[in-house]
């Protein structure tokens, strides 16, 4: 089933069963303890996803899926660990996207680790102190997480974060992925080529990678937008550069709304939010 056929329609069980997306984003909650100015979800208010609704989603997906817990701050969902157990029980792969605040509690890190496996993706551009982010990273490393993602939204005014992520990658061995994107809802956001130029200045390996995983032109026989490239820039580091403004129809990343059970491409969904 072509993903275009299910844009913005009410989801029925057969349509969920024919889910075409490799990655599925699910907002667990709209609650957040920060108010980052470039966040696309600041005006997105939803109830916390219930265990019953989440299990319905998990059992209806046709095959094992990479589920990305988002929000709000998903770590603030009061039943986060139960949700992780449900997803794991159905064989889905988990990534938890976080602004890092809750992971300053090492006991919380230990609980999440126990209910894994889960990949933790740390938003290193979140509106909290660098010491808070660094403490969360160190807690995750000390707790025994072996695959961590560092992400940053490049605004044109925070290019120093690229150097910082380079230093963190070189010091903390569990950092296996670094992702960069631009601001999705600003017309004057950095272009894909501008991001590449800035990143390649700090990570020259981008220009001569160990392997090109996704060239942005096609993936699994499907044409891509050309503005999303994933490269294995060293044997132990994968890097993604993504122009989120041009990825509205990305066939890799889906979004499930836990309120009305609609399905959409992820970036098409969040571009509609202010």
Stated as kind and residue range, the H or E segment containing 177 is strand 175-181
Cα separation, 184 vs 245, in Å, equals: 5
pLDDT of residue 46: 81
pLDDT by 10s per residue, the chain, length 274: 333 333 333 333 336 777 788 889 999 998 988 877 767 665 667 889 999 999 999 998 888 999 999 988 999 999 999 999 999 999 999 999 999 999 999 999 999 999 999 999 999 988 889 999 999 999 999 999 999 999 999 988 888 999 999 999 999 999 999 999 998 766 678 999 999 999 999 999 999 999 999 887 776 677 777 778 999 999 999 999 998 877 666 777 888 876 666 777 776 666 655 4
Cα separation, 49 vs 29, in Å, equals: 7
Cα separation, 186 vs 22, in Å, equals: 27
How far lies 51's CA from each of 79, 258, 259, in Å? 8, 11, 13
Give the CATH number of the domain where residue 209 resides: 3.20.20.70
Tokens of 139: 């807690």
Residue 100 burial (CB count, 10 A): 24
pLDDT of residue 4: 33
Tokens of 261: 């059970």
Residue 247 burial (CB count, 10 A): 24
- SS3 category, 179: strand
Task: Please count the residues of the chain.
Answer: 274
User: 270: exposed, middle or buried (C-beta count within 10 Å: 0-12, 13-18, 19+)?
Assistant: buried
Cα separation, 167 vs 183, in Å, equals: 24
- SS3 category, 161: helix
Q: Structural domain tally of the chain?
A: 1
Task: Give the torsion sign (CA, 133, 234, 177, 152).
Answer: positive
How far lies 48's CA from each of 29, 95, 198, in Å? 4, 18, 38
Tokens of 96: 């938890």
Range of the domain at 20: 3-271
pLDDT of residue 19: 79
pLDDT of residue 21: 83
Supply the pTM of this predicted model: 0.89
- SS3 category, 173: coil
pLDDT of residue 28: 94
pLDDT of residue 1: 31
DSSP 172: -
Q: Longest Cα pair distance anywhere in the chain, in angstroms? A: 48
63-87 exposure pattern, b = at least 16 Cβ within 10 A, e = fewer = eebbbbbbbbbbbbbebbeebbebb
């Amino acid at each position: 089933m072509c993903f275009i056929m299910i844009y913005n329609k009410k989801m029925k069980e057969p349509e969920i069963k024919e889910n075409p997306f490799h990655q599925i984003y699910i907002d667990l909650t709209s609650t957040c303890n920060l108010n980052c100015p470039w966040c696309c979800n600041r005006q997105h208010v939803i109830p916390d996803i219930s265990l019953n609704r989440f299990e319905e989603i998990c059992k209806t997906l046709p095959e094992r899926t990479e589920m990305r817990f988002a929000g709000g701050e998903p770590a603030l969902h009061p039943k986060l660990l139960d949700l992780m157990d449900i997803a794991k029980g159905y064989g889905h792969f988990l990534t938890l996207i976080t602004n890092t605040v809750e992971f300053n509690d090492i006991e919380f890190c230990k609980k999440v680790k126990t209910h894994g496996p889960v990949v933790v993706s740390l938003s290193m551009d979140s509106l909290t102190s660098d010491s808070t982010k660094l403490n969360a990273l160190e807690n995750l490393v000390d707790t025994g997480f072996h695959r961590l993602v560092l992400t940053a939204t490049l605004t044109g005014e925070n290019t120093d974060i690229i150097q910082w992520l380079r230093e963190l990658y070189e010091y903390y061995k569990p950092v296996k992925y670094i992702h960069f994107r631009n601001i999705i809802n600003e017309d004057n956001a950095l272009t894909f080529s501008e991001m590449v130029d800035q990143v390649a200045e700090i990570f020259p390996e981008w220009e001569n990678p160990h392997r090109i995983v996704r060239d942005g032109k096609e993936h699994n026989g499907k044409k891509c937008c050309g503005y999303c490239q994933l490269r294995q820039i060293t044997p132990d580091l994968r890097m993604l550069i993504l122009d989120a403004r041009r990825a509205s129809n990305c066939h890799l990343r889906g979004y499930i709304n836990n309120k009305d059970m609609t399905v959409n491409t992820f970036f098409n969904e969040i571009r509609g939010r202010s």
